[in-house]
Chains A and B, each alone.
Chain A
Amino acid sequence: MIKQETLRTFLAVLLVIIAVIYAVNAGYFGKEILAEILLFAILAMSLDFLAGFGGMVSLGHAALYGTGAYFYAVLTVNYGWNAPSAMAAAIFFCGIAGWIVGAATARVRGIFFIMATLAFGQMAYVYVFENRALGGDDGMSGIPRLDLSLVGIDLVDPTNFDIFLIVVAAFVFIFLMWLLKSGFGRTLVGLHRNEMRMRALGLSLLLHKAAAFAIAGGIAGLAGTLAAQHAMFVSPDYLDWKLSGLVLIIVILGGLGSLIGPVLGAAVVIILKHQISAYTEHWAFFIGVFLIIAVLAGGHGLYDLLVKLNKRARRKATKPEEVVDA
């Protein structure tokens, strides 16, 4: 366990360093891609917390993300709220929305859980899509970014915004790692492993699952408010179930239940998408084929691959005498 932990921390630190260097040195387009990766990374960590650790595979996560984005947009643009309070309110609202979905689906399992979350997600999507007050199909624009000029940081500058996103993503990672080690997090993992046993020990499935969903919802909402600030624009696409699917793909390819894997997955999928798009419009085709092969090959994602490589390297280094399994 300790050694896995070291690898994870090492990887997290390495990714932060790479991201910071890239944020400073890349051209405008590169900075935009980095921002996209970071937004997906935050969203994917939130989904991994829910699906990888809590066993709740949601296919409606984009709806919480989009809800956060719209909530922030409406409060700042239509009601003139300042950015920090609008962000806090949006995160809080998404937490409540997550709680409700989690409580409603607490007893639904397997493929039906996936369908139920899809249904809730589509409900939100359709509501936004058809609501004229929210701009309908056209979305909303003119969304302000957080004003950090008090501490001398101008977030309109793409480098600064990237660094800001790196800090938020790192914070989310640390927060979730810490949460997973707490009584709450451990119980959540126990619930995923053996629901019946945890109930027999006196755990309320409904309350615990709803609380986990609320936390994941709040983080997805946070990612949404950041996405709205990044693009300074929101559209119903933010809530689309295809986006939920893409996030799920990122989590799976990165490594379900590893927290850092999905960050890696976000980087790989988004970079791949832009690389392929440079040659052909049909990037979705390659992502699709890649996904099918990855699942058929029975892999457990990029992070798992790293863990295995790491083990093999250590085995070679220590020779057969003492092979300590993590």
Chain B
Amino acid sequence: MITDYSFWTIQLLNGLQFSMLLFLLSVGLSIIFGLMNFVNLAHGSLYALGAFTGYTFAKLLGSYWAAFFLAPVAVALVGAILYQLLIKRMRSASPLNQVLVTFGLLFVFLDVFRFVWGDFTLGIDTPELLNFGFAMGGQLYPAYRLFIIFLGLIIMAALWLVLERTNIGAMIRAGVDNGEMAACLGMNVNKVFFSVFCVGCALAGLAGVVAAPIFSVYPGMGIELLVPTLIVVVIGGLGSLRGVIAGSMLVGMIQTFGQVLAPQVASMLVYALLAATLILRPQGLFPARG
């Protein structure tokens, strides 16, 4: 098995696919973190919200693709409301208070999911269009998983273009680099914060609806993925796209290959990596701020 070429290809693809999900989930959190100095523990709940609303849309409209487009919009809407009601007020709060409020939010979301969708595991069918596989060493590799990798790469490229090549991107980068300075230059900080927050939420929602056909949909799914997401953000360095890419690749691959090579210690490896990063290089691998 160890020398089986296709086996490793499949693991590599699995790792990539998990990395891409982590990327979609982390990128919003990281940029919000870097830009607004705000840590949102409820970010994982937005991912779960994406999966749940996706489930409902798919049920009601009978089409996965409708859910694929509508769920992120719905999550962004919820994010917008959250921002106006709560997040705006918490921006200058101490880290402890931010943690507490968003932790409270996480509890609230958890019970809302239980209340609305019930405390059981739901599933979404893989869309018809992608319900086939590629033959790989006697196995069929699902096309849907390749689709996730592809989608992740597209979003990555799009974000890179926006951040590096547009005025809005320049403003965001300036804001991450030095918030006060950016405000002095006449940038409407609040508007930028608000938009970034909503886009971050939409991406988390997208991750949720995309993950739904592979993983099951249940109330605790967001909390489960929150911790790996935080790890990606901290390892990569706050507010940097390169950091998020590197972080999600590292965490995704370590998780996946760790499970295959050393299942006993695989999950601990990621935490050890985080602890080591925090102690040896607290600013992360690719910090946006010098």
Query: 0/1 per residue, A274-290, Cβ < 8 Å to B?
Result: 00000001101101111
Chain A residue numbers with a CB within 8 Å of B93 are 295
Q: Does B142 contact A (CB under 8 A)?
A: no
Q: Once the chains are docked, how many angstroms separate the CA of A131 from the CA of B268?
A: 11
Q: Once the chains are docked, how many angstroms separate the CA of A111 from the CA of B105?
A: 18
Q: CB distance A116 to B271 under 8 Å?
A: no
Q: CB distance A281 to B114 under 8 Å?
A: yes
Chain B residue numbers with a CB within 8 Å of A118 are 227, 230
Q: CB distance B264 to A130 under 8 Å?
A: yes
Among A15-23, A183-191, A244-252, the stretch in contact with B: A244-252
Chain A residue numbers with a CB within 8 Å of B282 are 107-108, 112
For chain B, residues 67 to 116, give those with C-beta under 8 angstroms from any C-beta of chain A. Answer: 86, 89, 93, 95-101, 103-108, 110-112, 114-115
Q: Once the chains are docked, how many angstroms separate the CA of A120 from the CA of B273?
A: 10
Which of B99, B105, B234, B274 gathers most chain A CB within 10 Å? B99
Q: CB distance B264 to A288 under 8 Å?
A: no
Q: For residue B112, which residue of chain A has the nearest CB? A: A285
Number of A-B contacts (CB under 8 A): 112
Chain B interface helix/strand/loop/mixed: helix
- The tally of residues in A whose CB lies under 8 Å from a CB in B reads 40
Q: Once the chains are docked, how many angstroms separate the CA of A241 from the CA of B99?
A: 13
Q: CB distance A130 to B267 under 8 Å?
A: yes
Q: Once the chains are docked, how many angstroms separate the CA of A248 from the CA of B96?
A: 10
- Given contacts A284-B110, A288-B111, A289-B108, whether A249 and B96 have CB atoms under 8 Å apart is no
Chain B residue numbers with a CB within 8 Å of A112 are 234, 278, 282
Q: CB distance A127 to B99 under 8 Å?
A: no
For chain A, residues 102 to 142, give those with C-beta under 8 angstroms from any C-beta of chain B. Answer: 104-105, 107-108, 110-112, 114-116, 118-120, 122-123, 126-127, 129-131
Q: Once the chains are docked, how many angstroms separate the CA of A112 from the CA of B96?
A: 11
Q: CB distance B115 to A282 under 8 Å?
A: yes
With both chains docked as a complex, state the minimum distance between the C-beta of A47 and any C-beta of chain B, in angstroms.
12
- Given contacts A57-B96, A108-B282, A114-B95, whether A296 and B275 have CB atoms under 8 Å apart is no
Chain A residue numbers with a CB within 8 Å of B61 are none
Q: CB distance A126 to B267 under 8 Å?
A: yes
- Given contacts A105-B278, A282-B111, whether A248 and B271 have CB atoms under 8 Å apart is no
Enumerate chain B interface residues (CB-CB to A < 8 A): 39, 86, 89, 93, 95-101, 103-108, 110-112, 114-115, 119, 223, 227, 230-231, 234, 263-264, 267-268, 271-272, 274-275, 278-279, 282
